[in-house]
Structure 1
Amino acid sequence: MNFDLNDDQSSILTGLDQLLAQTAQPGLQHAVTHIYSAALDETLAAAGYLDIAREAGFNALDAALVVERVARQAQLVEAGASALVAPLLPIDAGTRPIAMLRGPLTGAARFLPVARLLIVDHGDHIMLLPIDAGQVEPVETLLAYPYGRLAHVDTDCGTRFEDVAAIRRRWRIALAAEAAGCMAAALAAVIDHVTTRFAFGRPLGSFQAIHHRLAQAAETAESTRWLALRAAWSDNAADAALAAGFAQMRIAPFTYDLHQFSGAMGLTLEFPLHLWTYRLRALASELGGASGQAAELARLRWGEAA
């Protein structure tokens, strides 16, 4: 795999970084579980970043680069489903934000309180359900996304979509790309903390034990990113299962170490670390978690023998 970005991809990320820098918020003003930004969502959509895979000459890899970069922000927007899953569906580009749910309609889904469309994986088919705010009951949670469940729904209004495998493949790629962005941002926040926080007259980051575990955390973040980008580049089901499974397998030790390095602050809502680590904890269980991705990868590699 060529690890260098081409000129178009470099231009995409340069423009996106400039836009994100212009819309960045100056840290946490008060204790919150998440910061959903409708303004940033509208800005990204208007600039075309969330529909990039629909444009001629661009593909899932370009979309994954956008999803990963957006996931690094403290402000939260729905990017993964819009950029990677929606282009496969018979829907208009403006039908978003999108929530995704696997299993019964009684379950809670990320982004449902702000969604205009719910994608439901029923196992043997996909249902696309238009959503309005009156249908959604918000769910309180520390997981750093707006969660909700359907209070009532008319399934007769939905559209059936048969290609379940394609939706799950892109869902896994989006999950891995979003996890990679959250890991990169969380690690950067902790590195800043251990560089400026002193103990025994030395920065915390200068202690060898912390060095070693930060190096392992950096390896996790970088490996997750490249596996996600490889899966987007190949748009292959096995690569997607591997990328999502690796990310989910590493989330628990990764978040444990970063919170420990931050001391008690790592567990408070006034310190921004939770904006990314609590998103990671939510992502860790999607689509069956790491064991679910491992089972899917085994099935793809070895079929019934798995």
Structure 2
Amino acid sequence: MKYALTDDQASVLAGLDQLLGGFDSAPPTEPVLFEYAAALDQTLAESGFLDIAREDGFSPLDAALIVERLARLPQVVEAAASSIVAPAVGVPAGTRPVALLSGPLTRAARYLPMARVLLADRGDHALMIKVEPDNVETVETLFAYPYGKLKSLDGLEQTRIEDVAALRRRWRIALAAEAAGCMASAIDAILEHVKTRQAFGQPLGAFQAIQHRLAMAAETAEATKYLAFRAAWSDLESDAAIAAGFAQTRTAQLAYDLHQFAGAMSLTLEFPLHLWTYRLRALAGELGGGSRQARAAALATWGAAA
């Protein structure tokens, strides 16, 4: 399947690429767990890219295109929750960054250290919680994202959201779009390696076994991207769950193969591959993982018969 951009979508992505061209998007030269692109975050917010789904004539699909492109960067910036999830659950425009949390409020959440609002899935409802910077404790992880958790649950300014299904649906779409971008850049990093690394007098990429597994990784990345775009276009529960579930169930094999091609070097912080594969590991566990998404897809498709 080939997805053709509309003229408006092509213009949006061209504008985004022009904006990104003004920022240093080279992988960090020093060993780091992650690098948050604060300046890019501010510019994206001011330019309106992250509010595109709120504009007349645009939709979550346009936001997903932007999220997938930004997820390819070695640096991280909170875009998925702001542009895809927040508009569906009543978060006011401009209130960002946004963190997402499923489960106990004491758990760590991605982007919480810089978030202004936390959207928490509480099972039968959701909460929109105002985040006070002094109430957030930074949590160090290997997942190549900034994580934090609330220090205290006392006195939280919160708003109840009844439509928790909308939160989960858009979260799944955001997750799939972000995963697709991470997969694409992880593959690009390894392609460069197998072209230059020699074994038995020839590049690693010349070996058929490696070519086959790279082709499988490319198929996973492309399928994840188009499933994410389809879900963003339809905004259906079933499509969103299928897109997220596919990304989550394919992550382990893709990451294993790509790391194997670079050997022990791929696990060092100096080699950029981990910047995307570790993020994929984090995404693979959100909202209950692939099995939870499969169950959600079945329920959305067949209802009680599932």
TM-score in same-fold range (> 0.5):
yes
1:254 aligned residue: 254
Deviation, structure 1 residue 199 = 1.4
Is structure 2 residue 41 aligned with structure 1 residue 41?
A: yes
Which residue does the alignment assign to 2:212? 212
Q: Give the equivalent residue in structure 2 for 1:78.
A: 78
1:239: which partner in 2?
A: 239
CA contact (8 A) 2:26 2:74 kept: no
CA distance in 2 between counterparts of 1:77 and 1:177 reads 14
- 1:102: which partner in 2? 102
* Aligned counterparts of 2:222 and 2:156: Cα–Cα separation in 1: 44
Runs of 4 or more, structure 1, over 6 Å off, are: none
CA gap of 1:201–1:223, structure 2 versus 1, over 3 A, is: same
Moved more, 251-260 or 86-95: 86-95
- Shift in Å, 1:282: 0.2
Corresponding residue for residue 230 of structure 2 = 230
Alignment partner, residue 67 of structure 1: 67
Aligned-pair CA distance for 1:275: 0.6
Shift of 1:194: 0.6
CA contact (8 A) 1:98 1:119 kept: yes
CA distance in 1, matches of 2:46, 2:200: 51
Matched, 1:20 2:7: no
The alpha-carbon deviation at position 93 of structure 1 amounts to 1.4
Letter in 2 for 1:301: T
Contact 1:28–1:271 (Cα < 8 Å) also in 2: no
When structure 1 is superposed on structure 2, of 87-96 and 51-60 the one drifting more is: 87-96
Q: Which moved more, 1:20-29 or 1:75-84?
A: 20-29
Corresponding residue pairs, total? 306
| Deviation for aligned residue 1:140 | 1.3
Cα distance in 2 for partners of 1:58, 1:71 equals: 20
SS at match of 2:21: helix
Q: Which amino acid aligns with 2:287?
A: L
Query: Aligned runs of 1:181-192 on 2, under 5 Å?
Result: 181-192=181-192
CA 1:278/1:186 → structure 2, altered by over 3 Å: closer, same or farther? same
Q: Is the 8 A contact 2:80 2:174 kept in 1?
A: yes
Following superposition, the deviation at residue 304 of structure 1 comes to 2.0
Specify the alignment match of 1:10 in structure 2.
Answer: 10
Aligned-partner residue type, residue 87 of structure 1 = P
Q: Deviations over 1:45-90 (max 9, x none)?
A: 1111111101111000000000000000011000110010111233
Distance 1:199 1:61 in 2: 43
C-alpha displacement at 1:299, in angstroms?
A: 1.1
TM-score, normalising length from structure 2?
0.97
Using the alignment, how far apart are the partners of 2:145 and 2:163 within structure 1? 27
Aligned to 2:128: 128
In the TM superposition, what are the counterparts of 1:129-148 in structure 2 within 5 Å? Answer: 129-148=129-148
Paired with 1:83 and 1:162, the residues of 2 have a C-alpha distance of 20
Q: Secondary structure at the match of 1:51?
A: helix
Tell me which amino acid in the other structure corresponds to 1:208: Q
Structure 2 contact 116–131 (Cα < 8 Å) conserved: yes
CA contact (8 A) 2:25 2:73 kept: no
Checking the alignment, whether the CA contact within 8 Å between 2:130 and 2:156 is kept in structure 1 is: no
- Partners of 2:25 and 2:292 in 1: CA distance: 37
Q: Letter of the aligned partner of 1:68 in structure 2?
A: E
> Normalising by the residue count of structure 1, what TM-score does the alignment of the two structures yield?
0.97
Return the offset for 1:300. Answer: 1.3
5 Å-filtered alignment, 1:161-176, equals: 161-176=161-176
CA distance in 1, matches of 2:25, 2:301: 45
Give the letter for the 2:216 counterpart: Q
Range 290-299 or range 14-23, more displaced: 14-23
Q: Measured at CA, do residues 295 and 164 of structure 1 come closer, stay the same or move farther in structure 2, by a change above 3 Å?
A: same
CA distance in 1, matches of 2:141, 2:107: 14
Structure 1 gaps of 5+ residues are: none
Contact 1:120 1:127 in 2 (8 A): yes
Give the Cα–Cα distance (whole angstroms) in 1 for the partners of residues 26 and 150 of structure 2. 34
Question: Does the CA-based 8 Å contact 2:89-2:163 persist in structure 1?
Answer: no
Match of 1:52 in 2: 52
